[in-house]
A and B are shown apart, each in its own frame.
Chain A
Amino acid sequence: MPVVLEVKDLTKIFSLGSLFSRLRIKAVDQISFTVKPAEIFTLAGESGCGKTTTARMILGFEPPTSGEIRYQNRKIEEFQDKKAWFKEVQAVFQNPFETFNPLRKVECYFFETIHNYQLDKEGRKASVLIEEKLQQVGLSLSEIAGKYPGELSGGQLQRASIARSLLTNPFLLVADEPVSMVDASLRMSIVNLFRKLRDSLEVSVIYITHDLATAYYVSDRIGIMFRGNIVETGSVEEVLGKPKHPYTQLLLESIPKPDPQERYKTSITFLEEKEEYLRSGCKFAGRCPEVQEICKQKAPEDISVNGVVVKCHKYIK
């Protein structure tokens, strides 16, 4: 099966502290996943689980400590420069108000993208190309022409940001929390846009979020990250419908459902877990309701259960 992006044993280690007491934190710990053509793959997890670091490594903003990132079977290092990589892989960021420089007109970024990638070579004018992409996200050039980011709404800016990323006709978009800063009444329109891009333009999206409800709505497959590991990967229906890993179960249970009939029934004990990153063995062992002796000693291996890959001793026979 062809894959757009393959990530293999990707690891990022940050060193903290002084010269003498170095603390090495594995922000991302040997994660592997693939993204297929025209597929939305979600990386979900809480803050500090390493999902943004993963995105930054895929975009080449952060060098990995070890591991491989391959785009259509070519390693990221094989691309001649960053520009060649960004022609194929583009990104949408979290805060639409920060995506564009508040002191510059939004349209500048569009014309610069066209100019820098020489996209207007085939006799098509830059403004025509820009208009085409803006139409795809439900905007038009006249709406953003001459305007500064402060004059547009968050929803418009996020659409513009997506339109700009589409200019180079990339096959992969990395979207880091693209709707968390967008107004609630506009959120679904942005999320729907990603579905539309996948269906009509066959763009693959790595959708990074902490919001499992939109993740379920938008994506095909999902990876749940916890403390630098992907603990569970599979189709969203399987992973979020029948969660296997105890951490996924806890996450799902904790989402406040927008329905007054479904309030939290049980109460949880909230533990302070600062040292989870440094834990040997399963990193969730300190909070896991089903913890066994082996969890504290040995990190679990990936195991496949009904098409879902889980990192848990519970399923290892």
Chain B
Amino acid sequence: MGILKDLFKDYRFTIGFIILCLLVFLAIASFFSPYDPIEWLQVARDKPPSWPHILGTNSKGQDVFWEATFAIRNSFIIALIAGLLSRVVAILVGFTSGYKGGLTDRILMGISDGLLVIPLFLILVMVTMLLREAMTLVNTGLLLAFFGWAWDARTIRSQVLSLREREFTQTSILAGNKTLPLVTKEYLPFTMPLIFSTLINNIGWAIGMEIVLAILGLVRLEIPTLGTMLQWAISYQAMLLGHWWWILTPLILTILLLVALYWLSVSVSEYLDPRMRIQRIGAK
């Protein structure tokens, strides 16, 4: 608990945490929604915010507030699948490649370089166009995870490379540690901030990417996400028709989410920064 107490001293963390909690709360609220997220014409259309539709209704005859709760939940699902899965791959590849070196390193880095040099956006658009019907939440997440690990694997590898040359690596070998315990005990504490901040960045990237794909109409549009909500609002000319509540809701939620993630990432990585940690340890 001491860790959280320290972190809450940073206003950026506090604000980011509160925003994120609110958004998670919204996502959970979707389970109590009185409406079906996919069904059309459940309520009167195009009503401005008023009780009981606190964020109004859209042209599809859906309540915008409850639609947004589903959108956040689904966007979270995609982002978490993409973020966590790509972290696992990035950590595995980065650590093996950095610690083993030699041929293993060259093969793994060859693959990640390959992923880095292909024009990511074009490939994504092509794949999603071909597989549009299969672009469910899980599959979108998997696709983004597949493209999301290469750069971070490289950064993790470079950090492990420099850690490997430090004397405590040799002490650990002399203490009889095998590769796996050595890497997790000695290097993970140093790479944690990096992993954490890349995780948060990756989540932000996945949410943004989903929005882009959705606006281009390349995912299954009937599933509400922040992206598809925007896509519908845009294609119904919500701005032009003065239905500002419809387009602003996903927009503001997206901005809030990205800002919260950014602040969390900055303050957490500052907190976990080994140099700061060493100073704190010394301060006791």
A and B touch in the complex (CB under 8 A): yes
B residues near A61, Cβ cutoff 8 Å: 170, 173
The answer to whether the Cβ of B274 comes within 8 Å of any Cβ in the partner chain is yes
Q: For the complex, what is the distance from the CA of A116 to the CA of B167, rounded to whole Å?
A: 19
- Chain B interface, >50% SS class: helix
* Cβ contacts under 8 Å, B177 to chain A: 112, 116
Number of interface residues of A (CB under 8 A): 30
Smallest CB gap from A56: residue in B: B170
Stretch of A68-76, A101-109, A188-196, A275-283 contacting B (4+ beta carbons < 8 Å): A101-109
Q: Are B281 and A99 in contact (CB under 8 A)?
A: no
A112 touches B175 (CB 8 A): yes
**Nearest B residue to A165 by beta-carbon distance?**
B174
- Binary contact track B241-284/A, C-beta < 8 Å → 1, others 0: 00000000000000000000000000000000010011001101
Instruction: Looking at the assembled complex, report how far the CB atom of A298 sits from the nearest CB atom of chain B, in whole angstroms.
Output: 38
Task: Give the residues in chain A near B282, CB-CB below 8 Å.
Answer: 148, 150-151
- Taking a contact as CB atoms under 8 Å apart, the answer to whether B171 and A109 are in contact is yes
Decide yes or no: A148 and B170 within 8 Å by CB, A113-B175, A117-B176 being known contacts.
no
In the bound complex, do residue B170 and residue A91 qualify as a contact, i.e. CB atoms below 8 Å apart?
A: yes
Q: What is the interface of chain A, defined by CB distance below 8 A to chain B?
A: 59, 61, 82-83, 86, 90-91, 93-95, 98-104, 108-109, 112-113, 115-117, 148, 150-151, 161, 164-165
Q: Which 4 A-B pairs have the closest CB atoms?
A: A116-B176, A98-B167, A103-B189, A150-B282
Using A86-B174, A109-B171, A151-B281 as known contacts, list a sample of 15 further A-B pairs with CB atoms less than 8 Å apart, ordered by residue number in A.
Answer: A59-B170, A59-B174, A83-B176, A93-B170, A98-B166, A99-B168, A100-B168, A101-B168, A102-B278, A103-B274, A103-B278, A103-B281, A116-B175, A117-B176, A164-B175
Question: What are 25 inter-chain pairs, A to B, with CB distance below 8 A?
Answer: A61-B170, A61-B173, A82-B173, A86-B173, A86-B176, A90-B174, A91-B170, A98-B167, A101-B185, A102-B274, A103-B190, A103-B281, A104-B185, A109-B172, A112-B172, A112-B175, A112-B177, A116-B176, A117-B176, A148-B282, A150-B281, A161-B171, A164-B171, A164-B174, A165-B174
